[in-house]
Amino acid sequence: MNTETTNVVMIRVKKVKGKELPIDTGKIPARVWEAIVAKGLEHYANMGTSTKKGLSDEEYIHIFEEQVEKMYADKTRITGSKAVSTKKADSKVLAEAIRIAFEKVNSEIRAAGGKISHFPVKDRKEYARMYVERDPIYMEAAKENIARSEATQSKGKPSDNILSLLTPSAKLIQKAEEKKAAAKAETSAKQAGKVIPAKPKPGPHLRA
């Protein structure tokens, strides 16, 4: 499958808890890729048959065909990890987990050659939440990020306040105040039904 489009997939290392490593599917030769796809399809198309004994050939084929239809409809139960319950999750942790998964959804869209702006935010967030519910790695990463952030904040002393380290620009403050005043004046004029006169251009005697 040597294609110019790079599609990196994070795959879990079975013997290392919580560890995933990237695999660039764009670098996998067609012969190997076909074997990987065939193995995966064989696994998911035959789900549900190992626990049912003594069925006829037709019944096993029927189960197989049902699983294929589930694949097409995106209703396949993904195995390999337990479903993650988000009902009792800390809202802060859950929000961070969804943010991380949302970035992954966006990166996968880009990797597939799509444009993020072409897909509604609502749909992308739904997929992000689905990722969180299917893989505990997102909640774990969220907890680590929050713990790291809180640890960094706790190290700072009152004297290390960011405002004591930076000097505000008087020019930027004045510019912001002027912009705010102009917007306020424009709003007041619109409410009063007045028209704001255009700002006169400086004449030759006003130019530096």
Q: How far apart are the first and last CA of the chain?
A: 65
Supply 123's token pair.
């749909």
Query: Residue 132: which residues within 8 A CB-CB, separation 6 or more?
Result: 84, 86, 94, 97, 98, 101, 138, 139
Residue by residue, pLDDT tens for the chain (208 residues) are 443 445 777 787 888 887 888 888 889 999 999 999 999 899 889 887 877 778 899 999 999 999 999 889 888 877 655 556 677 788 899 999 999 999 999 998 898 888 889 989 988 898 888 888 878 888 888 898 888 888 776 665 554 566 666 778 888 899 999 999 988 888 887 777 765 566 666 555 555 4
Tokens of 5: 């489009």
pTM above 0.85, yes or no: no
Contacts of 174 (CB under 8 A, 6+ apart): none
